[in-house]
A and B are shown apart, each in its own frame.
Chain A
Amino acid sequence: MMNQIPISWFLTLSAVLFALGVAGFLFRRNIITVFMSIELMLNAVNLSFVTFSYQNKSIHGHLFAFFVMVVAAAEAAVGLAIILTIFKNRQTLTIDEIDSMKN
C-alpha cells in the first residue's frame, strides 16, 4: 500500500502548480516574473501529460510534453528578446507603465 500513489494526486499537484502560475501571471507587475509564471503553467501541463501517459501505458503523452518543451524554449528566446527591446525603448520592466496601446 505504501508503494502505490493514486493518479489523482499527480493531477491535483498539476492543478495546484497551474493555479499558482495563473496567480503569478495576474498579480505580478514585473514583466520577467510574468513570463516565468507562463513557464510554470507549461510545466504543470507537462506533468498532466506524463501522468495521463502513465495511465494509458502509452508513449504519446511523453511526445506531447517533449514538443511543449521545444516550443517553450523557442518562446523563451523570442520573449526575452522582446523584453530586451521593450527595456531598451522604455527603460522600465513594470507592465503598468507599458500602456501605449491604451491611449
Chain B
Amino acid sequence: MDVILFLVFALIAVVCAINVVVQTHPISSAISLVGVMGSLAVLYLLLGAEFLAAAQVIVYAGAIMVLFVFTIMLLNAGAESKKGKSLMVQLLGVPLLVAFLALMAFYVEHLFPSNTMVHFGGFTGGGVKEIGRALFTTYLLPFEATSILILIAILGAIVLARKEMD
C-alpha cells in the first residue's frame, strides 16, 4: 500500500516537474508546479512530517504560487519564443542532463544502501507540538532572525514595486 502510494505520487511529481520545464507558457508551468508541490506534501505525510505537509500546501502551493500566478497575470506574460536555440544546447542539453541525473542516482544508491525502509507511521515526531517545541527552544535565534528577514523582504518588495522610474 505504501509503495503504491509512493509510486503514484512520485510519478505525478516527476511528470508535473517535466511539464514545468517543457511548457512554453508560464501559466502552464505554474499550474504544473502546484502539482509537484501537492504530491510532495503527500510524500511528506508518508515520511511522518505532518506539520511540513500542511505548511507545504499552505505556504508553497497556496501563498507562493498565488504570488507567481498574480505576477504572470499582471505582466501579461505570453508564451516564450522558440527561436535562437544554440547548436550546443540542442546537441548536448538532454544528454548532459541525463548524465547528471545518472551520476546523482548512482551516488545515492551507492551511499545509501536500502537498509533503512520507510513505512507510514515509522516516525511520528513531526507534529505541531514537537516542531513548536524545537522552534522555540533550540532554534529560537534562527526563528527570530527569519522574522526580521521577512520584515525586510516585505519592505523591499514594497519599495521595489512602488519605485518611480525615470
- The DSSP consensus for interface residues of chain B is helix
Q: Are B6 and A50 in contact, with the CB atoms below 8 A?
A: no
The residue on A at minimum CB distance from B27 is A32
Q: Are B68 and A36 in contact, with the CB atoms below 8 A?
A: yes
Q: Are B108 and A15 in contact, with the CB atoms below 8 A?
A: yes
Interface centre among B44, B64, B150, by most chain A C-beta atoms within 10 angstroms, is B64
- Alpha-carbon gap, A80 to B20, bound state (A): 18
Q: Are A96 and B84 in contact, with the CB atoms below 8 A?
A: yes
Q: Are B49 and A7 in contact, with the CB atoms below 8 A?
A: no
Query: Could you give, for residues 82-103 of chain A, a 1 whenever the CB lies within 8 Å of some chain B CB and a 0 otherwise?
Result: 1111011100011010000000
Q: Are B17 and A70 in contact, with the CB atoms below 8 A?
A: no
Pull 27 A–B residue pairs with CB atoms less than 8 Å apart, ordered by A: A2-B3, A7-B112, A10-B43, A16-B105, A17-B17, A22-B97, A23-B97, A26-B93, A36-B30, A39-B60, A40-B20, A46-B52, A47-B43, A53-B126, A55-B116, A59-B126, A63-B134, A66-B51, A73-B63, A74-B149, A74-B153, A76-B68, A77-B67, A78-B153, A80-B71, A93-B75, A93-B77
